[in-house]
Chains A and B, each alone.
Chain A
Amino acid sequence: MIEKTVAELSAALAAGDISSQELTQAYLDRIAQFNDELNAYITVCADSALAQAKAADAARADGNSSALLGIPMAHKDIFCTDGVLTTCASKILNNFVAPYNATVVERFNAAGAVMLGKTNMDEFAMGSSNETSHYGPVKNPWDTERVPGGSSGGSAAAVAADLCAMATGTDTGGSIRQPASFCGITGFKPTYGRISRWGMIAFASSLDQAGPLCKSAEDAALMMNAMAGLDEKDSTSIDMEVPDFTATLGDSLQGLRIGVPRQHFAEGLSADVEEAIQASLKEYEKLGATLVDIDLPNNHLSVSAYYVVAPAEASANLSRFDGVRYGYRCENPVDLEDMYKRSRSEGFGDEVKRRIMVGTYALSAGFYDAYYRKAQKIRRLIKNDFNNAFKEVDVIAGPTSPHTAFKLGAKSDPVAMYLEDIYTIAVNLAGLPGMSIPTGIVNGLPVGMHLVGQDFAEAKLLNVAHQFQLATDWHRRKAPLTSKEA
């Protein structure tokens, strides 16, 4: 049962084939069995999960039939959860119990979902391999010597290994899509502003966006129905009508124009990944779509621009972690400056410190114009590239990552790690919705296809993925860990 999609579990719960308490217990057992090896969860909330499941069963008995009622899920440890440790995978927050719920958490609670626990991640979402976590790296369920991707690696691994039915993640430069790709699951990053950031610990405010990690595009649509919508507590959330994202999942792809950016099939892309993507594009042609060669001329600037804007915002966002009011404080500070310096040096990991320094430098007097202002200009150019492309096409498709999951410790050079997100970063800079779906297996490891839609055209994008998943079964393939258990 635990390997099923949310849509299937929802039907099983509705039919009375299983109770939420039974289902929740099954996931808790699974977590107990595999979490030591995978390190996907930082915190497991067994008691409160079972209490929520009991309440969900009672609500169902009272006639509540909402789609996510009683579905066991996990939240990335970047979302504040009332009364539960919320660490952002950092030593500096290793004692922080949030006194409030993030809006995303609140909405899943309202929908009756059950929270199994909080998942591991790169520290403050800074990383593409989950190796920067203070709580140790997460292992890829397909090959435990490999990384699950990052930063939402714990959520991706947990979904892939059936340690939950669905999970939340956040995506600043590819942090939902790349781990989804590496773990062979579906990951969806909505349009910037579609989902409230209240209670989601900020990395780069103008780029951060929450989204679903799950087993199918249909599940992503069900999660989006719960997550999306205006929140007055987040001034950047958009006041726009939220559709039922499942309503258009039956639409035909006949006549769909898919843009294939030539920049995404150039140097750096591994041949077997390219092959898998090309095969999937052919599948789309069978479904009635036409492929259009498109140009994203400024794509090569996206990583550089991103690594100015994101660290700049992060350098300010992370200033509040100063040892004064909460979180880690160094032992016996001799004075204020000593407390700041040691609390922050001891509390933050290397990658976080690197980005704070890069960001601080980029904003400094005399460098602002050369870095920050220029990066913002590039951001506009990148948005224009997409605007031009979308005059000719409905969605854009390509690889999510240049290759499949790499080995733990394989990328020690920060810049090599930054280039992991070369296909995904531009989408954040432009604020567009994007997703990754499984489209093949190469040498026993999953390959993800990247799909990008127009602003607020999430429903269409989800259907483009859903139609592919109706015609193929890549999203049904299970990591060997899972088959071993079955």
Chain B
Amino acid sequence: MEWETVIGLEVHVQLSTQSKLFSGSATRFGAEPNTQANIFDLALPGTLPVLNKDAVKMAVRFGLAIDAEIGRRSVFDRKNYFYPDLPKGYQVSQLDFPTVGKGELTFTMDDGTEKTVGITRAHMEEDAGKSLHEDFQGMTGIDLNRAGTPLLEIVSEPDLRSAKEAVAYLKKLHSIIRYLDISDAIMAQGSMRCDANVSIRPKGETEFGTRTEIKNINSFRFVERAINYEVQRQQDVIEDGGRIVQETRLYDADRDETRSMRSKEVANDYRYFPEPDLLPIVIDEDFIEAIRADLPELPDEKKQRFMAEFKLGEYDAGVLVSSRELAEYFEAVVKISGDAKLASNWVTGELQALLNKNNWEVSESPVQAERLGTLIARIKDETISGKIAKTVFEAMLDSEAGVDEIIEEKGLKQVTDTGAIESLVDDVIDNNPEQVQQFKEGKEQVLGYLVGQAMKLSQGKANPGQVNQLLREKMK
């Protein structure tokens, strides 16, 4: 039987506010345990929440970026359950009236096809702390640094049809969030987390199958693997005559499998009710318009502009806007070099290869936009050839020096002195009488060979255009 996969993603993003959602504690990653937890975060009796307005702004920013309905009156609710890293015994979240309502996200697959996925909602809630099971000899340690960090939970419709689509959706979401500068969105650090709801159904069927929820997926690669594993597992179960149980499953990256967890808690009753310590958030038109006016250019718009302004192809433009940092890097290179086409080639070519090879972020590149821009400018003003430029690029990996300094130091400057080139050309003509004769008889293609010989003699530094011109003149 042919099966169709149905996936919906719930993505938690830690908003990069200075302080927590309801308290003034800092939210830095990696601080000593419990150094970022004040009396509210510890849920001492008598303490009360005060909403962080920046978190609301960030949520609305996201809402506007995906063209979503903004909840004019959103309400916080208490979600009740006991766990040691949940100090109040309830998590403050949003149930019926989220700050961000229905929206949508369009992304491009590797083969160039576009897909639009519905976003059901995005609501604000507080993160829990962490339970530390090591180093406490049979006891559990609690770190409340993370407790109360603002989260935006972005829930998609079950519109995704393959693990690849899920990853493409997630990458686009990641890119938008980074463009909006509302989260670090680093999956490995947990500032972006993804739960996947997965089910399968016979192709053509309109009813959904029973779904499972996969948790603990902490990289893009694992999203694809976990979903593929789960889809295969569900197929095997059904084809063996079994039934899928609605449950939460944990992805184990080491063994590359999903495992059932907490089946007992699936029937958890969270007893949601409106949080009486907070008033509803009332958002007016002015608030929304002020945020809209402050929205950055988003990847789709930027891609269109790059294509129009810089005459780039769709594929290259798509690669360049895939992250805000890369797009900004590219534009800086264009500005310095004055050549968008060369800038695009270098950024998507040499630079991308370098980043991929070392698993670096753009910001970690030893070749900064300023140096790459200058390098391209030196190609344009014929100080060096494109080929020599690659040598300079390599040299920049080990040196902080400026482009001109490196060219100077390594003696890579292109020879444009007519006298010097003339003597080179004379040498080549003297040493290759046969080819010169052929050229004179009208065999144009030997010119390339002769130019090559001249370049070789100059160790690549002669200006090829000048060599070409002089050869022609002298062989007339």
Pair A198/B90 contact, Cβ less than 8 Å: no
User: CA–CA, A352 to B114, complex, Å?
Assistant: 58
B251 → A minimal CB distance (Å): 24
Pair A319/B80 contact, Cβ less than 8 Å: yes
Some 11 contacts from A to B, beta carbons below 8 A apart, are A79-B46, A102-B46, A235-B50, A235-B51, A236-B278, A313-B273, A316-B89, A316-B90, A319-B80, A319-B88, A320-B45
Question: A residues within 8 A CB of B42?
Answer: 325-326
Question: B residues within 8 A CB of A365?
Answer: 269, 271
Pair B45/A316 contact, Cβ less than 8 Å: no
- A94, CB-defined interface residue at 8 Å: no
Known pairs A80-B44, A320-B88, A360-B271; list 16 more (Cβ under 8 Å).
A79-B46, A98-B46, A100-B44, A201-B46, A233-B48, A233-B50, A235-B50, A235-B279, A315-B80, A315-B271, A316-B273, A319-B82, A320-B45, A320-B89, A363-B271, A368-B271
Contact of B46 among A198, A236, A322 (CB under 8 A): A198
Pair B48/A235 contact, Cβ less than 8 Å: yes
Pair B90/A99 contact, Cβ less than 8 Å: no
- A205, CB-defined interface residue at 8 Å: yes
Pick from A102, A232, A340 the residue with the most CB of B within 10 Å. Answer: A340
A287 → B minimal CB distance (Å): 39
User: For residue B80, which residue of chain A has the nearest CB?
Assistant: A316
A425 → B minimal CB distance (Å): 17
User: CA–CA, A322 to B88, complex, Å?
Assistant: 9
Contact of B45 among A86, A205, A235, A363 (CB under 8 A): A86
Contact of B48 among A197, A322, A324 (CB under 8 A): A197
User: CA–CA, A203 to B89, complex, Å?
Assistant: 15
Question: B residues within 8 A CB of A13?
Answer: none
Question: B residues within 8 A CB of A322?
Answer: 82, 84, 89
Question: A residues within 8 A CB of B256?
Answer: none
Question: B residues within 8 A CB of A326?
Answer: 42, 44
Residues of A participating in the B interface, judged by any CB pair closer than 8 Å:
79-80, 86, 88, 93, 96, 98-100, 102, 197-202, 204-206, 232-236, 312-313, 315-316, 318-322, 324-326, 336, 340, 360, 363-365, 368, 372
Question: A residues within 8 A CB of B426?
Answer: none
Q: Give B350-385 interface residues, CB cut-off 8 Å to A.
A: none
- B276, CB-defined interface residue at 8 Å: yes
Pair B48/A319 contact, Cβ less than 8 Å: no
User: For residue A319, which residue of chain B has the nearest CB?
Assistant: B89
Pair A236/B279 contact, Cβ less than 8 Å: yes
Binary CB contact string for chain B from 134 to 146 against chain A (1 if under 8 A, 0 otherwise): 0000001010000
- B43, CB-defined interface residue at 8 Å: yes
Residues of B participating in the A interface, judged by any CB pair closer than 8 Å:
39, 42-51, 78, 80, 82, 84, 87-90, 140, 142, 269, 271-273, 276-279
User: CA–CA, A77 to B445, complex, Å?
Assistant: 101
User: CA–CA, A255 to B78, complex, Å?
Assistant: 47
Question: B residues within 8 A CB of A235?
Answer: 48-51, 277-279
User: CA–CA, A146 to B429, complex, Å?
Assistant: 125
Question: A residues within 8 A CB of B87?
Answer: 320, 324-325
Pair B89/A363 contact, Cβ less than 8 Å: no
User: CA–CA, A336 to B88, complex, Å?
Assistant: 16
Question: B residues within 8 A CB of A200?
Answer: 46
Question: A residues within 8 A CB of B82?
Answer: 319, 322, 340
Contact of B39 among A99, A204, A232, A324 (CB under 8 A): A99
Question: B residues within 8 A CB of A319?
Answer: 80, 82, 88-90
Question: B residues within 8 A CB of A233?
Answer: 48, 50
User: CA–CA, A338 to B275, complex, Å?
Assistant: 28
User: CA–CA, A321 to B44, complex, Å?
Assistant: 9
User: For residue B273, which residue of chain A has the nearest CB?
Assistant: A363
Please give me the 10 A-B residue pairs with the lowest Cβ-Cβ distance, nearest first: A319-B89, A205-B276, A363-B271, A206-B276, A199-B46, A320-B43, A201-B45, A80-B46, A365-B269, A201-B46
User: For residue B271, which residue of chain A has the nearest CB?
Assistant: A363
Pair B43/A234 contact, Cβ less than 8 Å: no
User: For residue A340, which residue of chain B has the nearest CB?
Assistant: B82
Known contacts A319-B88, A365-B269: A93-B278 contact under CB 8 Å: no
User: CA–CA, A214 to B51, complex, Å?
Assistant: 35
Question: B residues within 8 A CB of A340?
Answer: 82
A366 → B minimal CB distance (Å): 9
Question: A residues within 8 A CB of B276?
Answer: 204-206, 236, 313
User: CA–CA, A363 to B77, complex, Å?
Assistant: 12
User: For residue A99, which residue of chain B has the nearest CB?
Assistant: B39
A327 → B minimal CB distance (Å): 8
Pair B47/A198 contact, Cβ less than 8 Å: yes
Question: B residues within 8 A CB of A102?
Answer: 46
User: CA–CA, A336 to B42, complex, Å?
Assistant: 18
Question: B residues within 8 A CB of A93?
Answer: 45
Pick from A204, A235, A236, A326 the residue with the most CB of B within 10 Å. Answer: A235
Known contacts A86-B45, A93-B45: A324-B273 contact under CB 8 Å: no
Pair A236/B277 contact, Cβ less than 8 Å: yes
Question: B residues within 8 A CB of A99?
Answer: 39, 44
User: For residue B131, which residue of chain A has the nearest CB?
Assistant: A336
Pair B48/A198 contact, Cβ less than 8 Å: yes
Question: B residues within 8 A CB of A313?
Answer: 273, 276
B142 → A minimal CB distance (Å): 7
User: For residue A326, which residue of chain B has the nearest CB?
Assistant: B44
User: CA–CA, A437 to B46, complex, Å?
Assistant: 29
User: CA–CA, A260 to B84, complex, Å?
Assistant: 52
Pair B45/A80 contact, Cβ less than 8 Å: yes
Question: A residues within 8 A CB of B272?
Answer: 363
A208 → B minimal CB distance (Å): 9
B185 → A minimal CB distance (Å): 29
Question: A residues within 8 A CB of B89?
Answer: 316, 318-320, 322
Question: B residues within 8 A CB of A320?
Answer: 43, 45, 87-89
A42 → B minimal CB distance (Å): 15
User: For residue A373, which residue of chain B has the nearest CB?
Assistant: B273
User: CA–CA, A313 to B39, complex, Å?
Assistant: 21
Pair B271/A234 contact, Cβ less than 8 Å: no
Question: A residues within 8 A CB of B80?
Answer: 315-316, 319, 363
Known contacts A198-B48, A316-B90, A364-B269: A325-B43 contact under CB 8 Å: yes
Known contacts A319-B88, A325-B87, A364-B269: A98-B50 contact under CB 8 Å: no
User: CA–CA, A233 to B50, complex, Å?
Assistant: 6
B110 → A minimal CB distance (Å): 44
Known contacts A235-B278, A235-B279: A336-B45 contact under CB 8 Å: no
User: CA–CA, A364 to B140, complex, Å?
Assistant: 30
Contact of B277 among A80, A98, A205, A324 (CB under 8 A): A205
Pair A368/B51 contact, Cβ less than 8 Å: no
User: CA–CA, A325 to B37, complex, Å?
Assistant: 12
Pair B45/A96 contact, Cβ less than 8 Å: yes
Question: A residues within 8 A CB of B90?
Answer: 316, 319
Pair B45/A372 contact, Cβ less than 8 Å: no
User: CA–CA, A365 to B49, complex, Å?
Assistant: 26
User: For residue B142, which residue of chain A has the nearest CB?
Assistant: A324
User: CA–CA, A363 to B271, complex, Å?
Assistant: 5
User: CA–CA, A86 to B278, complex, Å?
Assistant: 25
User: CA–CA, A80 to B44, complex, Å?
Assistant: 10
User: For residue B40, which residue of chain A has the nearest CB?
Assistant: A233
User: For residue A318, which residue of chain B has the nearest CB?
Assistant: B89
Question: A residues within 8 A CB of B88?
Answer: 319-320
Question: B residues within 8 A CB of A201?
Answer: 45-46
